[in-house]
Amino acid sequence: MTGRSPIATRLAVTALVLACGPTGPSGADAQGIHRTEHHAFTVDTVVTGLENPWGMAFLPEGDASGAILVTERPGRLRLVRSAPGGGWTLDPQPVSGVPEVWARGQGGLLDVVLHPEFATNRLVYLSYSKPGDGGEATTAVIRGRLEGSALVDVEEILEASAWRRGGAHFGSRMAFDRDGYLYVTIGDRGQMEAAQDRSNHQGVTLRLHDDGRVPDDNPFVGQSGIRPEIWTYGNRSPQGLAVHPETGELWQTEHGPQGGDELNRLRAGANYGWPVITYGIGYDDSVITDETEREGMEQPVHHWVPSIATSGLAIYDGDAFPAWRGDAFVGGLRGLVLARVDLEGDRAVGWEPMLQSWQRIRDVRVGPEGYLYLLIDDGEAPMVRLVPVD
């Protein structure tokens, strides 16, 4: 009998279980209502016609520039405006001032966030794949002031030390914490061993001042051979990032290989293990490592085997779905699922798959009215939102 690693066996068994479907209803009924463990909702279309949207940011209520900024991976920043009498429209004219992006593979225009004081300084931050010489690219971040439908006074605040050929694992989610620090995720760029090498920015989360300077209290400041911007390392392809609205802690989703997607609570200076430990295997069924844990390396709060291909992350804090407050919502790409993870403090006590076998969900955000907004990864994609049913 041919031997099989414990991880490979666990992947096969769990894949069979997941293929049989979850308990409880997850699809819509004849009235278009989705009924889940705690809430029922409909899926409403906000706008259509987006090309591979990646990130979104809600402008302050009443802002004259529009309602929602949306990035499209080919390199466009779009405005979804409130329509007179209700509803929304997608402005046909992209926002100008966006830098040239390297739109290949997983690269392109990626995340968008607003400065915490956007209402007064109008600063918008974009992460993207920056082209270099000889076919190389890296992750970079710019900021600029939004004036009408234009970004002006654009400046680069980060060029990651992650130059590589190929279009794999750029990251790149961003988030501001309560103290105004900017966090940026960078993937391992397809070179998994580099995620344990802190002399580069591959497989890390970075912590910066809002202008790109390095905070003096970053965990590796002053240590020889280590990049001072690094906040965490040992991450494979972190594509979701959120600040917990109650605790202020930083949470992250990590897109694993075949199996081994993770939901992590980030701690300063912590090593999240990739590729020394993982619950996944290679895409060719090869064993990356037989270790799923090691002293000095963080365990995920929750992991998925098989992979759902985790992407965007939101931690719910609205009023529209009160039983979901404090839960994490994770977009699944390959898994075609919206995952709700039931969090109790720093523990995951279960998860519920929603919208199964539906669409590749790239980003998840909580809207100002408490509805959940989703971006779909497709060449002709909608933005949708989950609306509660009484």
What pairs with residue 81 in β-bridges?
89
Query: How far is residue 10 from each of residues 17, 306, 333, measured CA to CA in Å?
Result: 11, 9, 21
Residue 1 is encoded by which pair of tokens?
A: 């009998």
Would residue 115 show up in a list of annotated catalytic residues for this protein? no
> What sign does the dihedral 176-162-273-279 (CA atoms) show?
positive
> CA-CA distance, 272 to 278, in Å (whole number)?
9
Asked if 95 contacts 150 with a C-beta cutoff of 8 angstroms, the reply is yes
Task: Exactly one of 169, 201, 302, 303 is catalytic; name it.
Answer: 169
- Pick the closest to residue 359 from 390, 343, 342, 383 (CA basis): 383
> CA-CA distance, 266 to 66, in Å (whole number)?
33
Distance of CA 367 to the CA centre of its chain: 16
**Percentages (nearest 5) of helix, strand, coil residues in the chain:** 5, 40, 50
Measured at the alpha carbon of residue 340, what is the angle toward residues 334 and 342, in degrees to the nearest 5? 140
Report, as residue numbers or ranges, the catalytic residues: 169
